[in-house]
Chains A and B, each alone.
Chain A
Amino acid sequence: MDQETVRTICYLARLEIDQKKSNKIQKDLETIIELIGGLQTIDTLDIEPLYNPLEMTASTHEDIVNSDNEKEKFLKNAPASNEDYFLVPRVVE
């Protein structure tokens, strides 16, 4: 894993790494990738991935507004909001 790959992953993850820590992060990531790369030696031909130990389809419910769905309470935790919306920097000039 080179510095360019680290920069690409950082961008995909919307993270920036302190330049002083950049080499250490690169080394750590290489070590972890080496650890999980060890799985390649295991024969998994025709084995279905197990994404969830219960192997069940997530249950669904009716899409109805209930008492847990209260706009004011949720807006209260926002760093910036008006009475209806979360506020972010302007995206369209």
Chain B
Amino acid sequence: MSIQFKSIVELRGMLDEKLISASELTQETLQLAKKYQELNCFVTMNDEVATKKASGIIPSDEISSWLEGMPLAQKDLFCTKGLRTTCSSKILADFIPPYTATAVEKLEDAGAITIGKTNMDEFAMGSSNETSFFGNVHNPWKKGYVPGGSSGGSAAAVAAGIVPAATGTDTGGSIRQPAAHCGITGLKPTYGRVSRWGMIAFASSLDQAGPLARTAEDCAILLNSMSGYDSKDTTSLNSDVPDFLANINQPIDGVKIGIIKEFNLGELDSEVQARFEESIKTYEKLGAQFVEVSLPNISASVPTYYSIAPAECSSNLSRFDGVRFGHRAENTDDLNDLYIKSRSEGFGDEVKRRILIGTYALSAGYYDAYYKKAQQVRRLIKNDFDHVFQSVDILMTPTSPNTAFKFGSKGTQNPVELYLEDLFTISSNLAGLPAISIPHGQVNSLPAGLQLIGNFLKEDQLLNAAHLFQKNSDFHLAQPNLEDFS
């Protein structure tokens, strides 16, 4: 029986019924990764350690944890002890962390087997996975098309059925947008729900780790393990973690879903609109009620984000100086020259662009006009969310205004063109809210995603609504034809 395209729940059943052993599952997963290496999903494989860990798992008649023996892929932004972690950057091309990120450690402690590290936009800066030092990742649905970004390798590995699930991080949509473009499910939890310790920082007040999987049910399983307070992360939330899996079969009669007036969905591609209308009907049949709501400042999300995120990035990335770790330039005149040459050789163009914008926004004379102003608008955006969540339970939007596009077709002349792809996803990062993307059909033979945004710490509501949608549709079961990649 093939393991390809199987969910965690299905693989758990196969393991528990002894149709397959943990060792066989890991070996078949590694073989699938090799077979489809042209997708370029992985930067580094973890064959040896994965094989050893899997062989130590003895089948028993006891009830196993969901993740015992489950192969997972980790975004190459999570530090993994003894396993190269590059953030898809030349500057970290040889970096071997001495510790493991808490989110990954929790999954591994629950029995998961890390089979490799996935490709991504360099330092998570991008929406198409085209900024990786290790090359583009192909969308499994169409060769030469982007998988979305920045967690593009994780999304493609799940969509190609290589692994049942993978970790990702989301600073402005980096879990949800690639999940949408690849036809899978991806959840960005509430800011602080999952520890950021051991994640290589991009924008510290926006970054959040979360799962990418084939179903909302599988995302609930991963989130159960990943969540929880961590004293090593100073912004970790010390609040109760519900059992997300136990909560996903609740009826949604009377649940109020808001449609955001300011997003002008009527201006989108007619097929994107059609999928959205169909999803509204699906939820209406399930008993949900729809209302139009207004978030007057939400249209300012993109400029707000592109002031705050680069500012935080310019500060965070100052640690890459060629001294303590990472690339060091040769033949330098003095210490200052070493900093400049190491950074200039090590960072790619998009990372440099964002560091420069951030440096400008934080520099004397411009701080109030750009950085402080953006943080003030950020509060207005959060106030808008606080206000609408007094009258609705969930907000619903398309995940992305478009489906996947051809390599090199967006943002090369004007970077802002690519930034606008994040229009629907960015606001939940600014406000720290949870949001999920689920597949809801196709547009021109490419997957389209539906986004549900929830109130603070309401991941359970989102997972429940997403699960009910998947129980009443089969979009999440669609599989790409991978002939072009093997």
Using a CB–CB cutoff of 8 Å, the interface residues on chain A facing chain B are 1, 5-6, 9-10, 12-17, 21, 25, 28-29, 31-33, 35-40, 42, 44, 47-54, 56, 58-61, 68, 70, 73-74, 76-80, 86, 88-91
Instruction: Give the residue of B235, B332, B363 whose beta carbon is less than 8 angstroms from that of A9.
Output: B363
A-B residue pair count with CB separations less than 8 angstroms: 170
Q: Mark B305-344, 1 if CB is under 8 A from A, else 0.
A: 0110000001000100111111110001111111111011
B307 CB → nearest A CB, Å: 4
Tell yes or no: B378 within 8 A of A by CB. Answer: yes
Taking a contact as CB atoms under 8 Å apart, the answer to whether A15 and B340 are in contact is yes
Q: Given A35-B419, A61-B231, A13 and B374 touching (CB < 8 A)?
A: no
- Across the A-B interface, the 8 shortest Cβ-Cβ residue pairs: A53-B432, A49-B375, A79-B328, A58-B234, A50-B379, A44-B376, A73-B98, A77-B325
Taking a contact as CB atoms under 8 Å apart, the answer to whether B323 and A40 are in contact is no
B366 CB → nearest A CB, Å: 9
Taking a contact as CB atoms under 8 Å apart, the answer to whether A13 and B353 are in contact is no
Q: Closest A residue to B372 by CB, please name it.
A: A49
| Cα-based distance from A10 to B374 in the complex (angstroms) | 22
Residues of chain A lying within 8 A (CB to CB) of residue B326:
77, 79
Taking a contact as CB atoms under 8 Å apart, the answer to whether A47 and B379 are in contact is yes
- Name 13 interchain pairs, CB-CB below 8 A, sorted by A: A16-B344, A32-B416, A47-B379, A48-B379, A51-B205, A53-B433, A59-B231, A59-B236, A74-B325, A78-B323, A79-B328, A89-B337, A89-B338
Residues of chain A lying within 8 A (CB to CB) of residue B325:
74, 77-79
Taking a contact as CB atoms under 8 Å apart, the answer to whether B191 and A35 are in contact is no
Residue among A9, A21, A36, A37 with max Cβ neighbours from chain B (10 Å): A36
Tell yes or no: B88 within 8 A of A by CB. Answer: no
Instruction: Give the residue of A5, A33, A50 whose beta carbon is less than 8 angstroms from that of B378.
Output: A50
One of B112-120, B154-162, B354-362 at the interface: B354-362
A72 CB → nearest B CB, Å: 9
Q: Given A38-B303, A39-B377, A32 and B415 touching (CB < 8 A)?
A: yes
Tell yes or no: B347 within 8 A of A by CB. Answer: yes
A18 CB → nearest B CB, Å: 8
Taking a contact as CB atoms under 8 Å apart, the answer to whether A28 and B353 are in contact is yes
| Cα-based distance from A54 to B264 in the complex (angstroms) | 29
| Cα-based distance from A59 to B95 in the complex (angstroms) | 29
Q: Closest B residue to A57 by CB, please name it.
A: B234
Q: Mark B352-393, 1 if CB is under 8 A from A, else 0.
A: 110111011101000001101111111110100000000000
